[in-house]
Amino acid sequence: MDGVSIAASIVGIATAGVQVSIKLVTLASQISTASDRISSIGNDISLTSGVLHQLGELINRKTTDDGISILNQDGLKTTKTSAAMCERIFQEVEKEMKRASEQLRRYKPGQGRMSGEKIELSMT
């Protein structure tokens, strides 16, 4: 895989990460049992996505202003592997958010919940 393809892949992963982080922070704000750690994880995903996006842009340029290549083949391989690991983590977070969202959809209004009150999710 060449640098341009890797760069495009990384930018795509970064975009997905930003979407996951926004959903995670939004979901955490609606759930009473969500700790500050969940929002912190959402922020970490957002920051990681920003770094991935910048890295993808650097790789896409291929060379610095003085004509020196940004990354050699080993660097590209390491970058691709790291981005793939981030993508797997983003997918796992997305999967858990879907599970939590399903619990929210099954929640029956009027079962002791006041309007605007946060929902408590089970761990099962």
Domain-wise residue ranges, the chain: 3-100
60 pLDDT higher than 60: yes
User: Cα–Cα distance between 25 and 20 in angstroms, integer?
Assistant: 9
| Better pLDDT: 78 or 119 | 78
Site of tokens 């977070």: 93
pLDDT at 73 over 90: no
* Non-local CB neighbours of 92 within 8 Å, separated by 6+ positions: none
Is pLDDT of 108 > 70?
Answer: no
106 against 41, higher pLDDT: 41
Give yes or no for residue 110 having a pLDDT over 70.
no
pLDDT tens-digit readout, 8-23 = 899 999 999 999 999 8
Per the structure block, which two tokens stand in for 29?
A: 């704000």
